[in-house]
Copies of this chain bind each other. A is one copy, B any other.
Amino acid sequence: MAHRQPTIIDVARRAGVSKSLVSMALRGDPGVSEARRTAVLDAAAQLGHRPNRAASILAGTRTDTVGVIVDDLRNPWYLPLLEGVREALVPHGLRLTLTDAAMNRHLGSDPVDDALSLRVDGLIMAAEALDPRAVPAELPLVVAGTRAQRPAGAWAVAADEAAGARLALEHLRGLGHRRIAHLTGTGGSARARREAAEAAAAEDPATSLAVDGEGAPTEEAGYISALRLLREHPDTTAILAANDVMAMGALAAARELGLRVPEDLSVMGQDATPLAASPLLRLSTVDPHHDEVGRAAAGLLVRLIRGEGGATSAPASTSTPGATPEALLEPTLIARRTTGPAPAETGSSQPFPAQPPN
């Protein structure tokens, strides 16, 4: 070995204090005199001491760490959520660890087990298809961004999909659209949005909602579904996609068919990703405010960890139907370039004007 890493024993020797005093000073315990604190900090800096977190996790009663599990890093909806979580954790000085559910699948380990093996104080699951049996009942846990599949009694914080669908359909109907299509896909979130869109459309008998899509909720799938929908229902004047990338696929399908957006066809996404805000797309979308979802989820988790009872001091706009407590946040509508007035009716089908790409 080159030379052993310095431990708190080395620091204690150098600072002329006891081992425990070093531990307390390093963690910022208020019951340490100013003089000793600086002595310890100086000694630690001089020796280049790095606290061994494995040791402190093992010895301590808590880790001041919150784990976030996302199911797929490639789907960036978790980014604003993570930022919201971070913001809510800052005032409590809690550490954040991120795991992708699939990253260590070659080890055959469950991501929840992985987090627990390092004794996180609590867990935020921004993921759908995790095995709920892997979660011990005592673990503070909040499911965020989705209400799907969760352990009995676990809290969920998510956007209100029904309200989001209503906003989208109100927007489109307000622009005169009556023949609307919905692009969906697999996954609990897409399913929830489809059901919400169908319910919102059913409130008005004059509105028809054609639905297509069953594969992954990707841009490619949105493109294919939109092509099919527009060919089977040429009187469609507006498309509401389950998410922004599917809407991007719909834009590609529109271009392919020579339809101008929004003059001939309005297109809406959902999620309010950075993509939707881009100068090239300027996509109308429903904003689920995932940053606020993250903030609320983390705030709730902290209360659960501190044992202040999540159910009683719950976040705003909460509904608690029996055994599945959840907080639903209100989404908002962002109207941009891709939605406009429905074209005047000219018959069931209109000629596709030739149009250059881009």
Contacts and interface: CB of A to CB of B under 8 A. Distances in A.
A113 interface: yes
Interface string A54-65: 110110000000
Given A119-B52, A260-B358, A249 B98 contact: no
Interface string A96-125: 101110011011000001101111000000
A328 to B, nearest CB: 26
**Residue of A96, A106, A219 with highest tally of chain B CB at under 10 A:** A106
A47 interface: no
Nearest to A3: B138
**Residue of A100, A249, A357 with highest tally of chain B CB at under 10 A:** A357
A57 B93 CA distance: 24
A79 interface: yes
A299 to B, nearest CB: 16
A36 interface: no
Interface residues of A, number: 59
Contacts of A272: none
Contacts of A248: 278, 280
Contacts of A113: 50
A113 to B, nearest CB: 6
B261 A358 contact: yes
B73 A219 contact: no
A74 interface: yes
Interface in A202-225: 219-220, 223
Contact of A86 (B103, B256, B280, B358): B103
A304 interface: no
A350 interface: no
A228 interface: no
B96 A104 contact: yes
A79 B74 contact: yes
Interface string A182-219: 00000000000000000000000000000000000001
Nearest to A93: B107
A316 interface: no
A263 B356 contact: yes
Given A52-B119, A76-B76, A100-B98, A279 B223 contact: yes
Interface of A: 2, 50-55, 57-58, 73-74, 76, 79, 82, 86, 89-90, 93, 95-96, 98-100, 103-104, 106-107, 113-114, 116-119, 138, 219-220, 223, 248-249, 251-256, 260-261, 263, 274-275, 278-280, 337-338, 355-358
Given A55-B58, A74-B274, A338-B358, 15 more contacts: A2-B138, A50-B113, A52-B117, A53-B114, A54-B55, A73-B73, A95-B104, A98-B98, A249-B278, A249-B280, A251-B358, A256-B279, A260-B356, A260-B357, A275-B275
Closest 8 CB pairs of A and B: A252-B279, A54-B57, A252-B280, A53-B117, A261-B358, A54-B58, A90-B106, A223-B279
14 contacts: A2-B138, A50-B113, A54-B54, A54-B55, A58-B58, A82-B103, A90-B106, A98-B98, A219-B278, A223-B280, A249-B280, A252-B278, A253-B279, A275-B275
